[in-house]
Amino acid sequence: MTQKNQYKLNVNGQTVEVTAEPRELLIYTLREQLNITGPHIGCETSHCGACTVTIDGKSVKSCTMFVAQAEGKEITTIEGLGGPDALHPLQEAFKEHHGLQCGYCTPGMITRASKLLEEIPNPTEEEIRFGMAGNICRCTGYQNIVKSIKAAAAEINAAKEAAQ
Amino acid sequence: MPKDSGIGASSKRREDVRFLTGQGQYTDDINIHGQTYVHFVRSDVAHGKINSIDTSAAEAMPGVVRIFTGADFEGIGGLPCGWQVTDRHGEAMKEPAHPVLAQGKVRHVGDPIAAVIAESLEQARDAGEALNIDIEELPAVVDMKAALSEGSATVHDDLGDNLCYDWGFVEENKGAVDEAIKNAAHVTTLELVNNRLVANPMEPRVAVGDYNRANDESTLYTTSQNPHVIRLLMGAFVLGIPEHKLRVVAPDVGGGFGTKIFHYAEEAFCTFAARQINRPVKWTASRSEAFISDAHGRDHVTKIELALDADNNFTAVRTETLANMGAYLSTFAPSVPTWLHGTLMAGNYKTPLIYVNVKAVFTNTVPVDAYRGAGRPEATYQLERVIDKAARELGVDPIALRRQNFITEFPYATPVAVEYDTGNYVATMDKLEEIADISGFEARRKASEANGKLRGLGVNCYIEACGIAPSNLVGQLGARAGLYDAATVRVNATGSISVMVGAHSHGQGHETAFPQVVAEMLGIDESMIEIVHGDSSKIPFGMGTYGSRSIAVCGSAMVRATEKIINKAKKIASHLLEASEADIELKDGQFTVAGTDKSCAWGDVTLAAYVPHNYPLDNIEPGLEETAFYDPSNFTYPSGAYACEVEVDPDTGKVTVERFSAADDFGNIINPMIVTGQVHGGLAQGIGQALMENCAYDENGQLLSASYMDYAMPRASDVPFYAVDHSCQTPCTHNPLGVKGCGEAGAIGSPPSVVNAVVDALQSAGHNVTHIDMPVSPSRVWAAMNS
């Protein structure tokens, strides 16, 4: 399994070429080859969601996807959602409502939440809790995460309305 | 009117932006030029004799740099234990050797046998599979009672048996306690298990060892709650590296919860091996590896008896506990079931006589040590469950029975050697009854019944001993370290401040809360103050973060150092303002001469300290930097009252937490937003323990719950909305901030009320169920209802 191949990916709007063994997991390509260290490795069995990225519009746990499977796909990580000078409304809301503590699950949590709000633009508390159940946080007890996502939804919806 | 800065303000966390944007720098994000990767080959049997290890085939594999086994660590120290417990007979506990890599025997699934270093992680793993290891499997010691029985196999043959210590506390009270129980009007007895847990911070442990030949300096980057403690233990006891040649860095750490306090074999290995091969060595645990190598928590089996007189006053408590140590003594393991547990058995109540017996037992399982709460959840769970059972047996209201027995006068010396400085248990219970709407419960129960569900209400109190700890006291109790903390306040020439603190922040928000204190004291903006932590080369010393001690102990050191800064700054200001030092006042960042309009700004004084052209050089040194070490004179005693309401589905046994309320007394509060977050997180872990989490071994010592497939972590859909209040505040009387600590309360206080609520729900439907062990899973509830 040492044969390496070339793969073309689109990561956060940029096309990149990587050379990797087909067995390499996407999370390692992102972290070790592309130095995109926002997505983290928490369990390697797709249970915890720390590695969540968006691939072609869907939330994907990048610890259980081979880089070969991501060939030609559009990948968005936390780094693609917003940077320190231009926070995404979810990032703003997590800060405002103390939706994070150690920060390790946070990039995956917010990346997932960004898709949840596309799937359900105005979710109830229960819909948030179930929609986020694939992402484990050990610090916050989830209450402030729920609060943050609700607040971000309101913010995003208000901005949409204002734009119409 | 809430404050918008300083002590008491809910300042937004300044650390958040880096975490929110993926810019956090965790240990696994560190890669060093020339780095190699290590893969540990671990035992897949619980107990066995190592006959031989043949590395030749593995050494020939591509990319392999070096393979180490236990033989390479002959003559090198093992992992030390930081606490020596003395048993009932005055004998020191048994303390087995704990080699970095197994020597002679393997003693638990996960015990590291060999370490393969290669150019890539894949190559290291591939070569690990090519090792030829011959292990003769031996009978495994798993169950604690069996471990203590005659003829049991022994985990450590040289120790003779599996008993680490037999501890009695307070031994002199034993006779009186036995007598009180014999003569009591009523005795309630309960046998229970405090289930074994795995802390599971979301970031698995990582270690990167580096060695610099030029200056003979070793550096370890590690996922630690206390880098100085690791430097001390590893440098002095394992590898023999003097502290000035050893740097330990704990950068951003993704949660700890106790399990990242301890010094682990992988840290010592990476530091040692980097020097041996003169290249950096990196290890990153997989989650399954974390399950078999991170110290576990809890795992107590207890019988508790509560004696009451004819008026329902508590007269005595007696407990017998078996506490699992696992296969080796982890760093602070012996202190958890003893001094962090026995001393809390008075709880919030004026029980005059208490006797606690703990037998600590070696088994062929992963070592067990402190996990969020550490000993105090075990004490709280026993006491608050047995009180609930007593109330049901006596037909009295569980809240009334607690209120009747509350300690109401402070300071209060308990019969278990600690003195509560302050508290108000009536106030927290009053607050709980209000926020939990206890009086509305019966109506909610009827509504649940109408939906075919059984509803139950459970209440409990808790007390904890935090702010660990007075060094002279813990020294008498067997601690092999002091438990003070330290801070250096470095004021820069232009007035900005770096505060180097020994406490480590891994989610607790120190980078935000600590500056609030200094800003308040100096009257300057919080943004001028930065906290530096986690690097032994930047910080004078520190004992780290655990036991809800950071603000109470390290925060107090920071206050003392800031007071020294103010004293010196006033001297400088008195020179600049040509006034007497006694007349100088500092307010809102301005130094003024009392009763005049003469003043100078904070920045004028700091600049003068570093550009001393007009400066009293005869009397004062230039510069403005002060260090303080703070050793607390007592523990702090946060307390509170919690209520849980559950619904039980009678068809399936599934328990749902419908409401959870927590009224806490943390003394003074620096940042209410952060405190609330700490309570939320603790509650989720406590509810997780009560309903879901369980670390299970089979009879052969195989870990059955070694991944998130089998170890149930609470998810957003598993936990309720929490009503949290910390408006009851009795400030700590012996530290300068009046703070008590809040990190562990939720995890300590929540399990008993969950189980009390389930028992209440089942009894309300006529089931004769007095206890269900945690986790209160659907199958256990269903079995209890149908037995």
Residue spans of the domains in chain A: they are: 5-81, 89-163
Backbone φ and ψ for B234, nearest 5 degrees, come out as -75, -40
Check CB contact under 8 Å for A98 and B676. Answer: yes
Residue of A nearest to B251 (CA): A102
Residues of chain B with CATH 3.30.365.10: 16-22+484-630, 300-403+410-469+634-785
The architecture that CATH gives domain B16-22+484-630 is 2-Layer Sandwich (3.30)
Residue from the list A48, A82, A84 with its beta carbon closest to the beta carbon of B708: A48
Residue of B nearest to A90 (CA): B20
Share of chain A residues as helix, strand and coil, in percent rounded to the nearest 5: 40, 20, 40
Spell out which residues of chain A touch residue B26, defining contact as CB-CB under 8 Å. Answer: 37, 40, 104
Tokens 């240990």, residue?
A: B27
Q: Is the Cβ of B18 closer than 8 Å to some Cβ of chain A? A: yes
- Lowest pLDDT segment from A43-47, B50-54, B438-442, B767-771: A43-47
Interface probe with B: pick from A27, A81, A112, A139, most Cβ of B within 10 Å: A139
Spell out which residues of chain B touch residue A48, defining contact as CB-CB under 8 Å. Answer: 202, 287, 708, 713
Yes or no: say if B265 and B112 are a contact pair by the CB < 8 Å rule: yes
Residue from the list A96, A107, A141 with its beta carbon closest to the beta carbon of B681: A141
> Looking at this protein, which amino acid is placed at residue B470?
P
Q: A2 or B148: which carries more pLDDT confidence?
A: B148
Select from A5, A75, A1, A92 the least CA-distant residue to A38. Answer: A75
Spell out which residues of chain B touch residue A22, defining contact as CB-CB under 8 Å. Answer: none
Per DSSP, helices labelled H in B88-191 are 121-129, 144-147, 174-182
Check CB contact under 8 Å for B12 and A36. Answer: no
Per DSSP, helices labelled H in B376-470 are 376-394, 398-405, 425-435, 441-450
| Tokens representing residue A26 in the block | 């996407």
Tokens 């900005």, residue?
A: B496
> Looking at this protein, which amino acid is placed at residue A28?
Y
Peptide bond into B170 cis (omega under 30): yes
First-to-last CA distance in chain B? Answer: 56
Q: Which CATH number fits domain A5-81: 3.10.20.30, 3.40.190.10, 3.40.228.10, 2.60.40.10?
A: 3.10.20.30
CA gap B645, A52 in Å, rounded: 34
Among B residues 100-139, those touching chain A with beta carbons less than 8 Å apart: 122
Yes or no: say if B303 and B320 are a contact pair by the CB < 8 Å rule: yes
Instruction: Work out the minimum CA distance from B12 to partner chain A, whole angstroms.
Output: 7
Tokens 């009270």, residue?
A: B173
Task: Return all residues near B516 (Cβ < 8 A) that are at least 6 apart.
Answer: B5, B6, B7, B9, B11, B526, B670, B671
pLDDT, one tens digit per residue, over B235-253 is 999 999 999 999 999 999 9
* Section B147-175 average pLDDT: 97
Average pLDDT of chain A to the nearest whole number: 96
pLDDT confidence of residue B787: 85
Check CB contact under 8 Å for B21 and A38. Answer: yes
Q: Which fold has domain B31-83+98-140+205-284?
A: Aldehyde Oxidoreductase; domain 3 (3.90.1170)
On the question of pLDDT at A161 being above 60, the answer is: yes
Backbone φ and ψ for A61, nearest 5 degrees, come out as -90, 110
Average pLDDT of chain B to the nearest whole number: 97
Spell out which residues of chain B touch residue A78, defining contact as CB-CB under 8 Å. Answer: 20-22
CB environment B226-242: b (16+ within 10 A), e (fewer): bbbbbbbbbbebbbebe
Yes or no: say if A74 and A10 are a contact pair by the CB < 8 Å rule: yes
- DSSP character at residue B198: -
Angle between helices A143-163 and B672-691 (to 10 degrees): 120
Check CB contact under 8 Å for A44 and B24. Answer: no
CB environment B598-630: b (16+ within 10 A), e (fewer): ebbebebbbbbbeebeebeeeeeeeebbbbbbb
Q: Is the pTM of this model over 0.90?
A: yes
Spell out which residues of chain B touch residue A137, defining contact as CB-CB under 8 Å. Answer: 202, 716
Residue from the list B200, B707, B716 with its beta carbon closest to the beta carbon of A138: B200
pLDDT confidence of residue B241: 97
Sheet harboring B36-42: ordered strands across?
B64-69, B112-118, B36-42, B281-284, B206-212, B217-222, B246-249
Select from B260, B281, B268 the least CA-distant residue to B231. Answer: B268
* Section A28-53 average pLDDT: 97
Yes or no: say if B753 and B643 are a contact pair by the CB < 8 Å rule: yes
CA gap B369, B332 in Å, rounded: 6
Task: Return all residues near A80 (Cβ < 8 A) that are at least 6 apart.
Answer: A11, A12, A13
The sign one gets for the Cα dihedral B441, B442, B445, B450 is negative
On the question of pLDDT at B755 being above 80, the answer is: yes
Instruction: Work out the minimum CA distance from B577 to partner chain A, whole angstroms.
Output: 43
How many residues in chain A? 164
Task: Return all residues near B763 (Cβ < 8 A) that are at least 6 apart.
Answer: B392, B456, B769
Half-sphere exposure (Cβ direction) of B324: Cα atoms closer than 13 Å:
29
pLDDT, one tens digit per residue, over A80-109 is 999 999 999 999 999 999 999 999 999 999
Check CB contact under 8 Å for A103 and B201. Answer: no
Residue of A nearest to B722 (CA): A143
pLDDT, one tens digit per residue, over A63-82 is 999 999 999 999 999 999 99
B69: phi > 0 → left, psi -120 to 50 → alpha, else beta; which?
Answer: beta
| Tokens representing residue B574 in the block | 């008195």
Q: Which fold has domain B300-403+410-469+634-785?
A: Aldehyde Oxidoreductase; domain 4 (3.30.365)
**Residue B1 pLDDT level (bands cut at 50, 70, 90):** low
pLDDT, one tens digit per residue, over B678-712 is 999 999 999 999 999 999 999 999 999 999 999 99
The sign one gets for the Cα dihedral B576, B577, B581, B585 is negative
> Looking at this protein, which amino acid is placed at residue B325?
M
Residue of B nearest to A46 (CA): B708
On the question of pLDDT at B151 being above 70, the answer is: yes
Check CB contact under 8 Å for A43 and B721. Answer: no
| Residue B412 CB neighbour total at 10 angstroms | 17
pLDDT, one tens digit per residue, over B531-556 is 999 999 999 899 999 999 999 999 99
CA gap B784, B680 in Å, rounded: 30
pLDDT confidence of residue A164: 86
Q: Is the Cβ of B287 closer than 8 Å to some Cβ of chain A? A: yes
| Tokens representing residue B655 in the block | 């328990």
CA gap B101, B85 in Å, rounded: 26
Residue of A nearest to B62 (CA): A2
**Residue B412 pLDDT level (bands cut at 50, 70, 90):** very high
On the question of pLDDT at B273 being above 80, the answer is: yes
Check CB contact under 8 Å for B722 and A140. Answer: no
On the question of pLDDT at A1 being above 60, the answer is: no
Instruction: Work out the minimum CA distance from B574 to partner chain A, whole angstroms.
Output: 42
Residue from the list B122, B257, B717 with its beta carbon closest to the beta carbon of A130: B717
CA gap B153, B447 in Å, rounded: 55
pLDDT, one tens digit per residue, over A47-56 is 999 999 999 9
**Residue B70 pLDDT level (bands cut at 50, 70, 90):** very high
CATH class of the domain at A89-163: mainly alpha
On the question of pLDDT at B3 being above 90, the answer is: no
pLDDT, one tens digit per residue, over B361-376 is 999 999 999 999 999 9
